[in-house]
Amino acid sequence: MFHNKSKAGIFFLLLVLFGCSSDGADSGETADMSTEINSEELRVALGALPPVLDSHMSMDTNGSIIGRNIFETLVTFDSNFTVQPMLAESWEQNDDGTTFTFNLRENVQFHNGKEMIAEDVVASLERWIAVSTTGIDTFPEGTTLSSEGDHTVIMELPTPVSTILETLAYSGANFASIMPKEVIDEEDTTGVDTYIGTGPYKLEEWTQDQYIHLSAYENYESVAGESDGLSGERNTIIDNLYFMDVTDPATREAGVETGEYDVAFDISYDSAERLGTVPHLNVNAHPFGMYVLTYNKDTGLFADERAREAISLAISKEGILQAAFTSEDYYTLDHSLMSGDQSELWSSDVGEQEYYEHNPEKAKQLLTDAGYTGEEITILASREHGYYYNGSVVLQQQLEQLGLNINLEIVEWSAYLELRADPANWDLYLGASTPRISPTSLGFLRSEQPGWTNSSELDQLVDEFNVATPDEAEELYEELQAWFYEYKPVTKIADFSKVYASNENVNYEFQDGPIFWDTSITE
Protein backbone atom coordinates (compact mmCIF):
# COMPACT_ATOMS: atom_id res chain seq x y z
CA MET A 1 0.00 0.00 0.00
CA PHE A 2 1.42 3.36 -1.02
CA HIS A 3 0.84 6.54 0.98
CA ASN A 4 2.00 9.97 -0.17
CA LYS A 5 2.19 12.59 2.57
CA SER A 6 4.13 15.16 0.58
CA LYS A 7 1.30 17.70 0.68
CA ALA A 8 0.57 17.45 4.41
CA GLY A 9 0.70 20.74 6.27
CA ILE A 10 1.48 19.61 9.82
CA PHE A 11 4.85 21.17 10.31
CA PHE A 12 4.54 24.18 12.59
CA LEU A 13 5.71 25.54 15.93
CA LEU A 14 6.07 29.02 17.44
CA LEU A 15 8.84 30.28 15.22
CA VAL A 16 9.34 27.43 12.83
CA LEU A 17 10.21 23.80 12.61
CA PHE A 18 9.66 21.61 9.62
CA GLY A 19 9.11 17.99 10.50
CA CYS A 20 6.68 15.23 9.85
CA SER A 21 4.70 12.67 11.78
CA SER A 22 2.50 9.69 11.17
CA ASP A 23 -0.64 8.61 12.94
CA GLY A 24 0.42 4.98 12.83
CA ALA A 25 -1.77 3.86 9.95
CA ASP A 26 0.91 4.62 7.37
CA SER A 27 3.50 2.60 9.22
CA GLY A 28 1.76 -0.70 9.36
CA GLU A 29 -1.61 -0.38 11.11
CA THR A 30 -3.25 -3.79 11.17
CA ALA A 31 -6.68 -5.16 11.90
CA ASP A 32 -8.07 -5.01 15.42
CA MET A 33 -7.51 -8.75 15.88
CA SER A 34 -3.74 -8.41 15.42
CA THR A 35 -1.47 -9.14 18.36
CA GLU A 36 1.54 -7.02 19.27
CA ILE A 37 4.56 -9.16 20.11
CA ASN A 38 7.98 -8.57 21.49
CA SER A 39 10.66 -9.17 18.93
CA GLU A 40 14.32 -9.97 19.25
CA GLU A 41 15.41 -7.76 16.37
CA LEU A 42 14.49 -5.23 13.71
CA ARG A 43 16.66 -4.96 10.62
CA VAL A 44 16.73 -1.55 8.91
CA ALA A 45 18.44 -1.13 5.51
CA LEU A 46 20.12 2.26 5.03
CA GLY A 47 21.64 3.72 1.90
CA ALA A 48 24.76 4.58 3.90
CA LEU A 49 25.91 4.31 7.48
CA PRO A 50 26.91 7.61 9.09
CA PRO A 51 30.63 8.29 9.37
CA VAL A 52 30.28 9.11 13.09
CA LEU A 53 27.60 9.08 15.79
CA ASP A 54 28.89 12.16 17.62
CA SER A 55 25.61 14.06 17.59
CA HIS A 56 27.28 17.38 18.40
CA MET A 57 29.26 17.27 15.17
CA SER A 58 27.50 14.92 12.74
CA MET A 59 25.56 16.53 9.88
CA ASP A 60 24.38 13.13 8.60
CA THR A 61 20.62 12.52 8.66
CA ASN A 62 20.95 8.79 9.23
CA GLY A 63 23.37 9.58 12.05
CA SER A 64 20.75 11.66 13.85
CA ILE A 65 18.00 9.06 13.31
CA ILE A 66 20.24 6.37 14.82
CA GLY A 67 21.77 8.69 17.42
CA ARG A 68 18.51 9.78 19.02
CA ASN A 69 17.99 6.18 20.15
CA ILE A 70 21.29 6.42 22.06
CA PHE A 71 21.29 10.04 23.21
CA GLU A 72 18.63 12.29 24.68
CA THR A 73 18.15 16.02 25.06
CA LEU A 74 17.01 18.24 27.92
CA VAL A 75 13.69 18.89 26.20
CA THR A 76 11.94 17.49 23.14
CA PHE A 77 8.94 17.98 20.85
CA ASP A 78 5.53 16.39 20.97
CA SER A 79 3.59 15.69 17.76
CA ASN A 80 2.46 19.32 17.59
CA PHE A 81 6.07 20.51 17.99
CA THR A 82 5.42 21.94 21.43
CA VAL A 83 8.45 21.74 23.73
CA GLN A 84 8.07 19.04 26.39
CA PRO A 85 10.29 17.63 29.19
CA MET A 86 12.88 14.96 28.51
CA LEU A 87 15.99 14.89 30.73
CA ALA A 88 14.83 18.15 32.33
CA GLU A 89 11.59 17.57 34.21
CA SER A 90 10.85 21.31 34.31
CA TRP A 91 12.39 24.70 33.55
CA GLU A 92 11.90 28.39 34.18
CA GLN A 93 13.11 31.50 32.43
CA ASN A 94 13.36 35.07 33.63
CA ASP A 95 11.24 37.88 32.23
CA ASP A 96 13.70 39.03 29.58
CA GLY A 97 14.60 35.52 28.39
CA THR A 98 18.27 35.66 29.30
CA THR A 99 18.32 33.07 32.12
CA PHE A 100 16.99 29.52 31.93
CA THR A 101 16.94 27.22 34.95
CA PHE A 102 16.57 23.51 34.14
CA ASN A 103 15.53 21.05 36.86
CA LEU A 104 16.86 17.61 35.96
CA ARG A 105 15.14 14.29 36.47
CA GLU A 106 16.75 12.13 39.13
CA ASN A 107 17.98 8.53 38.82
CA VAL A 108 18.57 8.73 35.06
CA GLN A 109 21.44 6.41 34.15
CA PHE A 110 23.95 6.61 31.36
CA HIS A 111 24.68 3.37 29.56
CA ASN A 112 27.84 2.96 31.65
CA GLY A 113 25.73 2.81 34.82
CA LYS A 114 26.61 6.33 36.02
CA GLU A 115 23.79 8.64 37.08
CA MET A 116 23.33 11.69 34.89
CA ILE A 117 23.83 14.84 36.95
CA ALA A 118 24.23 18.56 36.35
CA GLU A 119 27.96 18.46 35.63
CA ASP A 120 27.29 16.13 32.68
CA VAL A 121 24.72 18.53 31.27
CA VAL A 122 27.01 21.54 31.71
CA ALA A 123 29.95 19.77 30.04
CA SER A 124 27.77 18.50 27.18
CA LEU A 125 26.10 21.80 26.40
CA GLU A 126 29.32 23.78 26.70
CA ARG A 127 30.89 21.49 24.12
CA TRP A 128 27.81 21.47 21.90
CA ILE A 129 27.61 25.29 21.85
CA ALA A 130 31.31 25.45 20.99
CA VAL A 131 31.53 22.81 18.24
CA SER A 132 28.10 22.33 16.64
CA THR A 133 27.00 24.60 13.85
CA THR A 134 23.58 24.87 15.47
CA GLY A 135 25.07 25.88 18.81
CA ILE A 136 27.50 28.35 17.27
CA ASP A 137 24.76 29.99 15.20
CA THR A 138 22.14 30.16 17.95
CA PHE A 139 23.93 31.00 21.19
CA PRO A 140 25.57 34.43 21.51
CA GLU A 141 29.17 34.71 22.61
CA GLY A 142 29.28 34.97 26.38
CA THR A 143 26.61 32.34 27.06
CA THR A 144 27.46 30.52 30.31
CA LEU A 145 26.32 27.32 32.00
CA SER A 146 26.61 26.45 35.67
CA SER A 147 25.20 23.95 38.14
CA GLU A 148 23.51 24.25 41.50
CA GLY A 149 23.81 20.87 43.17
CA ASP A 150 23.41 17.71 41.14
CA HIS A 151 20.06 18.38 39.53
CA THR A 152 19.88 22.06 38.55
CA VAL A 153 21.52 23.69 35.53
CA ILE A 154 21.50 27.43 34.88
CA MET A 155 22.01 28.86 31.40
CA GLU A 156 22.68 32.59 31.13
CA LEU A 157 22.73 34.49 27.83
CA PRO A 158 24.09 38.02 27.29
CA THR A 159 21.10 38.77 25.02
CA PRO A 160 17.77 36.97 24.59
CA VAL A 161 17.31 34.43 21.79
CA SER A 162 13.73 33.60 20.96
CA THR A 163 14.33 29.96 19.87
CA ILE A 164 16.46 28.61 22.75
CA LEU A 165 14.06 25.89 23.89
CA GLU A 166 13.18 24.86 20.33
CA THR A 167 16.87 24.60 19.48
CA LEU A 168 17.55 22.43 22.54
CA ALA A 169 14.59 20.20 21.60
CA TYR A 170 15.68 19.65 17.99
CA SER A 171 16.77 16.07 17.24
CA GLY A 172 18.12 16.45 13.72
CA ALA A 173 21.72 17.09 12.68
CA ASN A 174 23.90 18.57 15.43
CA PHE A 175 21.35 17.93 18.17
CA ALA A 176 22.15 18.94 21.75
CA SER A 177 22.60 15.49 23.28
CA ILE A 178 23.76 14.89 26.85
CA MET A 179 26.84 12.69 27.37
CA PRO A 180 28.90 11.81 30.47
CA LYS A 181 31.35 14.52 31.48
CA GLU A 182 34.24 12.07 31.37
CA VAL A 183 33.49 11.27 27.70
CA ILE A 184 33.55 14.98 26.90
CA ASP A 185 36.79 15.44 28.83
CA GLU A 186 38.51 12.64 26.89
CA GLU A 187 37.57 13.78 23.38
CA ASP A 188 40.18 14.76 20.82
CA THR A 189 39.98 17.10 17.84
CA THR A 190 38.08 14.51 15.78
CA GLY A 191 35.25 14.32 18.33
CA VAL A 192 34.06 11.74 20.82
CA ASP A 193 34.48 8.10 19.88
CA THR A 194 32.75 6.59 22.91
CA TYR A 195 29.01 6.75 22.36
CA ILE A 196 27.33 6.66 25.76
CA GLY A 197 23.97 8.29 26.32
CA THR A 198 20.81 7.94 28.39
CA GLY A 199 18.56 6.75 25.57
CA PRO A 200 16.42 3.62 25.32
CA TYR A 201 19.06 1.84 23.24
CA LYS A 202 22.81 1.53 23.71
CA LEU A 203 25.50 0.95 21.12
CA GLU A 204 26.32 -2.74 21.14
CA GLU A 205 28.54 -3.10 18.08
CA TRP A 206 29.62 -1.15 15.02
CA THR A 207 31.11 -3.16 12.18
CA GLN A 208 32.28 -0.65 9.60
CA ASP A 209 30.61 -0.92 6.20
CA GLN A 210 28.27 -3.62 7.52
CA TYR A 211 25.97 -2.60 10.37
CA ILE A 212 25.39 -0.69 13.58
CA HIS A 213 23.81 -2.80 16.31
CA LEU A 214 21.87 -1.17 19.15
CA SER A 215 20.44 -3.15 22.05
CA ALA A 216 17.73 -2.21 24.51
CA TYR A 217 19.23 -0.65 27.65
CA GLU A 218 18.00 -2.70 30.57
CA ASN A 219 18.24 0.17 33.09
CA TYR A 220 16.60 2.79 30.90
CA GLU A 221 14.58 5.37 32.85
CA SER A 222 11.92 6.80 30.59
CA VAL A 223 10.28 10.15 31.08
CA ALA A 224 6.70 9.75 32.29
CA GLY A 225 3.59 10.59 30.29
CA GLU A 226 1.72 9.34 27.27
CA SER A 227 3.87 8.88 24.19
CA ASP A 228 3.27 11.77 21.79
CA GLY A 229 5.63 12.47 18.92
CA LEU A 230 9.14 12.47 20.41
CA SER A 231 7.85 13.16 23.92
CA GLY A 232 6.41 10.98 26.65
CA GLU A 233 7.15 7.40 27.58
CA ARG A 234 9.63 5.48 25.48
CA ASN A 235 9.48 1.67 25.43
CA THR A 236 11.94 -0.82 23.98
CA ILE A 237 9.51 -3.38 22.61
CA ILE A 238 12.16 -4.67 20.19
CA ASP A 239 15.36 -5.93 21.83
CA ASN A 240 17.87 -5.25 19.06
CA LEU A 241 18.05 -2.75 16.23
CA TYR A 242 20.35 -3.48 13.30
CA PHE A 243 21.04 -0.62 10.91
CA MET A 244 22.47 -2.28 7.82
CA ASP A 245 24.80 -0.64 5.31
CA VAL A 246 23.08 -1.46 2.00
CA THR A 247 24.34 1.03 -0.55
CA ASP A 248 22.64 -0.47 -3.60
CA PRO A 249 18.96 0.62 -3.84
CA ALA A 250 17.96 -2.55 -5.71
CA THR A 251 19.40 -4.67 -2.90
CA ARG A 252 17.52 -2.66 -0.26
CA GLU A 253 14.29 -3.00 -2.22
CA ALA A 254 14.68 -6.73 -2.86
CA GLY A 255 15.61 -7.26 0.79
CA VAL A 256 12.54 -5.55 2.22
CA GLU A 257 10.34 -7.37 -0.31
CA THR A 258 11.71 -10.80 0.64
CA GLY A 259 11.73 -10.07 4.39
CA GLU A 260 15.50 -9.91 4.81
CA TYR A 261 14.97 -6.36 6.04
CA ASP A 262 12.01 -5.10 8.05
CA VAL A 263 12.39 -1.45 7.03
CA ALA A 264 14.23 0.11 4.10
CA PHE A 265 15.21 3.77 3.75
CA ASP A 266 15.68 5.68 0.50
CA ILE A 267 13.59 3.53 -1.79
CA SER A 268 14.39 4.57 -5.35
CA TYR A 269 11.66 6.73 -6.78
CA ASP A 270 11.20 4.60 -9.89
CA SER A 271 10.61 1.51 -7.70
CA ALA A 272 8.15 3.03 -5.25
CA GLU A 273 5.03 2.47 -7.33
CA ARG A 274 5.80 -1.21 -7.93
CA LEU A 275 6.64 -1.87 -4.28
CA GLY A 276 3.39 -0.16 -3.32
CA THR A 277 1.51 -2.99 -5.05
CA VAL A 278 3.24 -5.69 -2.96
CA PRO A 279 0.53 -6.86 -0.51
CA HIS A 280 2.76 -7.32 2.53
CA LEU A 281 4.56 -3.95 2.27
CA ASN A 282 3.72 -0.42 3.31
CA VAL A 283 5.38 2.28 1.20
CA ASN A 284 5.34 5.87 2.49
CA ALA A 285 6.57 9.18 1.10
CA HIS A 286 7.47 11.67 3.83
CA PRO A 287 8.60 15.28 3.33
CA PHE A 288 12.34 15.48 3.81
CA GLY A 289 13.57 18.95 2.96
CA MET A 290 14.74 21.06 0.04
CA TYR A 291 16.68 19.89 -3.01
CA VAL A 292 19.31 22.54 -3.62
CA LEU A 293 22.29 23.24 -5.85
CA THR A 294 25.16 24.38 -3.64
CA TYR A 295 27.92 26.66 -4.91
CA ASN A 296 31.51 26.76 -3.67
CA LYS A 297 31.65 30.44 -2.79
CA ASP A 298 35.07 30.20 -1.16
CA THR A 299 37.16 29.84 -4.28
CA GLY A 300 36.80 29.45 -8.01
CA LEU A 301 34.20 30.71 -10.46
CA PHE A 302 31.25 30.69 -8.07
CA ALA A 303 32.84 33.06 -5.60
CA ASP A 304 31.43 35.58 -8.11
CA GLU A 305 27.74 36.30 -7.56
CA ARG A 306 27.22 36.76 -11.31
CA ALA A 307 28.30 33.17 -11.99
CA ARG A 308 25.82 31.88 -9.42
CA GLU A 309 23.05 33.90 -11.03
CA ALA A 310 24.05 32.52 -14.42
CA ILE A 311 23.62 28.91 -13.33
CA SER A 312 20.30 29.70 -11.68
CA LEU A 313 19.03 31.25 -14.92
CA ALA A 314 20.39 28.49 -17.17
CA ILE A 315 19.20 25.28 -15.55
CA SER A 316 15.87 23.60 -16.15
CA LYS A 317 14.55 22.69 -12.71
CA GLU A 318 11.92 20.34 -14.11
CA GLY A 319 14.52 18.43 -16.12
CA ILE A 320 16.69 17.89 -13.05
CA LEU A 321 13.69 16.99 -10.88
CA GLN A 322 12.29 14.43 -13.28
CA ALA A 323 15.68 12.70 -13.41
CA ALA A 324 16.10 12.82 -9.64
CA PHE A 325 12.56 11.97 -8.47
CA THR A 326 10.73 10.61 -11.57
CA SER A 327 7.32 11.99 -10.57
CA GLU A 328 5.69 15.13 -9.20
CA ASP A 329 4.42 12.92 -6.37
CA TYR A 330 7.84 13.37 -4.77
CA TYR A 331 8.62 17.04 -5.35
CA THR A 332 6.92 20.42 -5.29
CA LEU A 333 8.14 23.56 -7.03
CA ASP A 334 8.24 26.38 -4.50
CA HIS A 335 10.30 29.57 -4.36
CA SER A 336 10.35 30.00 -0.58
CA LEU A 337 13.57 29.95 1.41
CA MET A 338 11.66 27.65 3.75
CA SER A 339 9.50 24.68 2.80
CA GLY A 340 6.21 25.46 1.09
CA ASP A 341 4.48 23.41 3.79
CA GLN A 342 5.39 26.20 6.22
CA SER A 343 3.62 28.90 4.26
CA GLU A 344 1.15 29.65 7.08
CA LEU A 345 4.10 30.93 9.10
CA TRP A 346 6.62 31.95 6.44
CA SER A 347 5.13 33.38 3.30
CA SER A 348 6.58 35.91 0.89
CA ASP A 349 6.20 36.69 -2.79
CA VAL A 350 9.80 37.92 -2.87
CA GLY A 351 11.86 35.83 -5.27
CA GLU A 352 8.96 34.07 -6.99
CA GLN A 353 9.70 35.65 -10.37
CA GLU A 354 13.43 34.90 -10.06
CA TYR A 355 12.71 31.28 -9.06
CA TYR A 356 10.81 30.55 -12.27
CA GLU A 357 12.98 32.65 -14.62
CA HIS A 358 14.82 30.68 -17.30
CA ASN A 359 17.13 32.69 -19.57
CA PRO A 360 20.16 30.84 -21.00
CA GLU A 361 21.27 33.79 -23.14
CA LYS A 362 21.43 36.10 -20.15
CA ALA A 363 23.26 33.32 -18.30
CA LYS A 364 25.95 33.16 -21.00
CA GLN A 365 26.54 36.90 -20.75
CA LEU A 366 26.79 36.73 -16.95
CA LEU A 367 29.39 33.95 -17.22
CA THR A 368 31.42 36.12 -19.60
CA ASP A 369 31.11 39.05 -17.18
CA ALA A 370 32.30 36.79 -14.37
CA GLY A 371 35.45 35.98 -16.36
CA TYR A 372 34.76 32.35 -17.29
CA THR A 373 37.17 31.16 -20.00
CA GLY A 374 36.63 27.41 -20.11
CA GLU A 375 38.10 26.26 -16.79
CA GLU A 376 37.01 22.82 -15.61
CA ILE A 377 34.00 22.91 -13.27
CA THR A 378 33.66 19.93 -10.93
CA ILE A 379 30.25 18.63 -9.88
CA LEU A 380 30.60 16.33 -6.87
CA ALA A 381 28.15 13.39 -6.69
CA SER A 382 27.61 9.99 -5.10
CA ARG A 383 25.57 7.02 -6.29
CA GLU A 384 24.60 6.09 -2.71
CA HIS A 385 21.88 8.74 -2.91
CA GLY A 386 20.27 8.18 -6.29
CA TYR A 387 18.62 11.57 -6.44
CA TYR A 388 22.01 13.24 -5.94
CA TYR A 389 23.53 11.24 -8.78
CA ASN A 390 20.62 11.22 -11.25
CA GLY A 391 20.03 14.94 -10.90
CA SER A 392 23.76 15.60 -11.30
CA VAL A 393 23.89 13.74 -14.61
CA VAL A 394 21.20 16.02 -16.06
CA LEU A 395 22.83 19.07 -14.46
CA GLN A 396 26.07 18.14 -16.23
CA GLN A 397 24.26 17.89 -19.56
CA GLN A 398 22.52 21.24 -19.10
CA LEU A 399 25.71 23.07 -18.13
CA GLU A 400 27.66 21.55 -21.00
CA GLN A 401 24.98 22.85 -23.35
CA LEU A 402 25.57 26.26 -21.77
CA GLY A 403 29.24 25.95 -22.76
CA LEU A 404 30.84 24.98 -19.44
CA ASN A 405 33.64 22.42 -19.19
CA ILE A 406 32.16 19.95 -16.68
CA ASN A 407 33.81 17.16 -14.71
CA LEU A 408 31.26 14.95 -12.94
CA GLU A 409 33.21 13.49 -10.00
CA ILE A 410 31.42 10.38 -8.72
CA VAL A 411 32.68 8.89 -5.45
CA GLU A 412 31.40 6.64 -2.67
CA TRP A 413 29.63 8.32 0.23
CA SER A 414 32.38 8.56 2.84
CA ALA A 415 34.75 10.01 0.22
CA TYR A 416 32.01 12.40 -0.87
CA LEU A 417 31.70 13.80 2.66
CA GLU A 418 35.48 14.13 2.97
CA LEU A 419 35.92 15.82 -0.40
CA ARG A 420 32.98 18.17 0.16
CA ALA A 421 34.68 19.59 3.27
CA ASP A 422 37.54 21.05 1.21
CA PRO A 423 36.77 23.90 -1.25
CA ALA A 424 39.70 22.83 -3.44
CA ASN A 425 37.81 19.68 -4.47
CA TRP A 426 34.58 20.88 -6.05
CA ASP A 427 32.54 23.70 -7.52
CA LEU A 428 28.93 22.48 -7.43
CA TYR A 429 26.87 19.72 -5.85
CA LEU A 430 23.20 18.79 -5.70
CA GLY A 431 21.89 17.66 -2.35
CA ALA A 432 19.42 18.07 0.47
CA SER A 433 18.93 20.91 2.89
CA THR A 434 17.30 19.35 5.93
CA PRO A 435 14.91 21.14 8.32
CA ARG A 436 16.10 23.63 10.91
CA ILE A 437 14.54 25.49 13.80
CA SER A 438 14.27 28.86 12.06
CA PRO A 439 15.12 30.30 8.63
CA THR A 440 18.41 31.68 9.91
CA SER A 441 19.53 28.19 11.03
CA LEU A 442 19.56 26.64 7.56
CA GLY A 443 22.86 24.90 6.95
CA PHE A 444 23.68 26.61 3.66
CA LEU A 445 23.67 30.01 5.38
CA ARG A 446 26.64 29.08 7.58
CA SER A 447 30.12 30.28 6.86
CA GLU A 448 31.75 27.06 8.08
CA GLN A 449 29.49 24.69 6.12
CA PRO A 450 30.39 23.42 2.62
CA GLY A 451 29.51 26.29 0.33
CA TRP A 452 31.02 28.80 2.77
CA THR A 453 28.45 31.59 2.78
CA ASN A 454 29.99 34.88 3.85
CA SER A 455 27.75 37.96 3.97
CA SER A 456 27.73 40.87 6.40
CA GLU A 457 24.14 41.61 5.40
CA LEU A 458 23.15 38.07 6.39
CA ASP A 459 25.00 38.40 9.71
CA GLN A 460 22.99 41.49 10.55
CA LEU A 461 19.69 39.84 9.61
CA VAL A 462 20.53 36.80 11.77
CA ASP A 463 21.33 39.00 14.77
CA GLU A 464 18.02 40.82 14.37
CA PHE A 465 16.11 37.58 13.81
CA ASN A 466 17.42 35.94 16.97
CA VAL A 467 15.84 38.57 19.23
CA ALA A 468 12.74 39.30 17.14
CA THR A 469 9.15 38.80 18.21
CA PRO A 470 7.04 36.60 15.89
CA ASP A 471 5.56 39.70 14.20
CA GLU A 472 9.01 41.23 13.73
CA ALA A 473 10.30 37.92 12.39
CA GLU A 474 7.66 37.91 9.64
CA GLU A 475 8.95 41.27 8.39
CA LEU A 476 12.57 40.14 8.64
CA TYR A 477 11.72 37.03 6.65
CA GLU A 478 10.83 39.26 3.69
CA GLU A 479 14.29 40.84 3.94
CA LEU A 480 15.95 37.45 4.29
CA GLN A 481 14.11 36.15 1.24
CA ALA A 482 15.27 39.18 -0.78
CA TRP A 483 18.85 38.62 0.36
CA PHE A 484 18.61 34.91 -0.58
CA TYR A 485 17.68 35.67 -4.19
CA GLU A 486 20.29 38.38 -4.55
CA TYR A 487 23.25 36.61 -2.94
CA LYS A 488 22.26 33.05 -4.00
CA PRO A 489 24.09 30.89 -1.44
CA VAL A 490 22.34 28.00 -3.20
CA THR A 491 19.75 27.64 -5.91
CA LYS A 492 16.63 26.02 -4.56
CA ILE A 493 15.36 23.41 -6.99
CA ALA A 494 12.25 22.19 -5.09
CA ASP A 495 10.87 20.69 -1.90
CA PHE A 496 11.01 16.90 -1.90
CA SER A 497 10.00 13.74 -0.08
CA LYS A 498 11.84 10.50 0.61
CA VAL A 499 10.33 7.05 0.29
CA TYR A 500 10.42 4.35 2.97
CA ALA A 501 9.18 0.77 2.79
CA SER A 502 8.40 -1.62 5.63
CA ASN A 503 6.80 -4.96 6.27
CA GLU A 504 3.08 -4.46 6.93
CA ASN A 505 3.52 -6.00 10.41
CA VAL A 506 6.02 -3.33 11.50
CA ASN A 507 4.34 -0.45 13.33
CA TYR A 508 6.39 2.72 13.72
CA GLU A 509 5.72 6.43 14.08
CA PHE A 510 7.45 9.09 12.02
CA GLN A 511 8.65 12.50 13.16
CA ASP A 512 11.79 13.90 11.57
CA GLY A 513 12.49 10.26 10.61
CA PRO A 514 11.24 6.87 11.82
CA ILE A 515 10.93 6.48 15.61
CA PHE A 516 12.28 3.10 16.70
CA TRP A 517 11.46 3.14 20.39
CA ASP A 518 7.83 1.99 20.72
CA THR A 519 8.14 0.29 17.32
CA SER A 520 6.38 -3.06 17.42
CA ILE A 521 5.71 -6.07 15.23
CA THR A 522 2.26 -7.62 15.04
CA GLU A 523 1.22 -11.14 14.17
Q: What does the domain layout of the chain look like in residue ranges?
A: 28-280+504-522, 289-497
What pLDDT is attached to residue 39? 75
Q: What is the pLDDT of residue 16?
A: 37
Domain 28-280+504-522 has CATH 3.30.70.860: no
The amino acid at residue 521 is I
Q: What is the pLDDT of residue 523?
A: 73
For residue 25, the model assigns a pLDDT of: 37
Radius of gyration (Cα) for the chain, nearest Å?
Answer: 23
Model confidence at 470, in pLDDT bands (50, 70, 90)? Answer: confident
For residues 308, 311, 317, 322, the Cα torsion angle rounded to the nearest 10 degrees is -120
pTM of the model: 0.81
The residues pairing with 90 across neighbouring beta strands, listed in sequence order, are 103
Q: How confident is the model at residue 38 (pLDDT cuts 50, 70, 90)?
A: low
Question: What angle (nearest 5°) sits at the alpha carbon of residue 140, between those of residues 288 and 343?
Answer: 30
Q: Is the predicted pLDDT of residue 449 greater than 90, yes or no? A: no
278-294 confidence digits (pLDDT tens): 999 999 998 888 999 99
What topology does CATH give the domain 289-497?
Dipeptide-binding Protein; domain 3 (3.10.105)
Q: What pLDDT was estimated at residue 344?
A: 60
CA distances from 52 to 206, 386, 434 (A): 10, 22, 18
Residue 348: pLDDT band with limits 50, 70, 90: confident
Quote the mean pLDDT of the chain: 89
pLDDT at residue 19, rounded to an integer: 39
29: pLDDT strictly greater than 70: no
Calculate what percentage of the chain has a pLDDT beyond 90. Answer: 72
Model confidence at 23: pLDDT above 50: no
Rounded to 5°, angle at Cα 337 from 332 and 343: 65
Long-range contact set of residues 114-118: C-beta below 8 Å, sequence gap at least 24? 114/180, 116/87, 116/178, 116/180, 116/198, 117/147, 117/150, 117/151, 118/147, 118/148, 118/149, 118/150, 118/151, 118/152, 118/153
Q: Which of 10, 14, 40, 12 is nearest to 23 (CA)?
A: 10
Q: Does the pLDDT value for residue 388 go beyond 60? A: yes
Name the β-bridge partners of 340: none
Least confident of 70-79, 370-379, 383-392, 423-432: 383-392
